[in-house]
């Protein structure tokens, strides 16, 4: 089984300046199905693309403070955020540098 990309399943914010839209799951299901759970700090936005219809796509870099489940050797992770006009699970980060959050990540199987 090849594991080469991570997908953000959900996150919990632990600071008040954080903003994002996401589809929450139960905590027990998140822990069970997450391949990686980390305490991470918002570092910087690496890219932002805005479509004609107002949709947005971004790539954010997070600093890994602590790995809680699964092993991660990297000190940073990159997460893709998106926001569209449709009612689907979305996660768009309009955060401040230094905001901290728990991130629940799963591998995309290819």
Write down the domain spans for the chain: 3-109
Q: Which of 74 and 14 is assigned the larger pLDDT?
A: 74
Tokens, residue 46: 């690496």
More confident residue, 42 or 86: 42
Q: Across residues 101-107, what is the average pLDDT?
A: 76
pLDDT of residue 20: 44
Are 38 and 63 within 8 A, CB to CB? no
pLDDT at residue number 63: 92
How do residues 45-102 score in pLDDT, each as one tens digit?
A: 898 888 888 788 888 888 999 998 888 888 998 887 777 766 555 566 777 778 888 7
The residue with greater pLDDT, 57 or 4, is 57
pLDDT band of residue 18 (cuts 50, 70, 90) is very low
pLDDT at 110: 52
Contacts of 95 (CB under 8 A, 6+ apart): 17, 18, 19, 20, 42, 60
Is it the case that residue 38 has pLDDT exceeding 70?
yes
- As beta bridge partners, residue 38 has 67, 103
Note whether 15 and 87 are within 8 A (CB): no
95 alpha-carbon distance from chain centroid: 12
Look at residue 80 in the predicted model and tell me its pLDDT.
77
Tell me the CATH architecture of domain 3-109. Beta Barrel (2.40)
Q: Spell out a b/e string for 57-84, using b for 16 or more CB atoms within 10 Å of the CB, else e.
A: ebebebbbeeeeeeebeeeebebbbebe
Q: What is the DSSP letter of 96?
A: P
């Amino acid at each position: 089984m090849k594991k080469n990309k991570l997908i953000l399943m959900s996150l919990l914010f632990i600071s008040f300046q954080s903003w994002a839209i996401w589809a929450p799951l139960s905590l027990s299901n998140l822990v069970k199905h997450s391949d990686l759970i980390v305490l991470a700090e918002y570092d910087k936005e690496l890219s932002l693309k805005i479509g004609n219809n107002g949709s947005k796509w971004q790539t954010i870099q997070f600093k890994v403070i602590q790995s809680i489940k699964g092993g991660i050797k990297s000190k940073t992770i990159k997460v893709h955020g998106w926001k569209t006009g449709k009612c689907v699970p979305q996660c768009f980060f309009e955060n401040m540098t230094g905001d901290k959050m728990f991130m629940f990540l799963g591998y995309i199987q290819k």
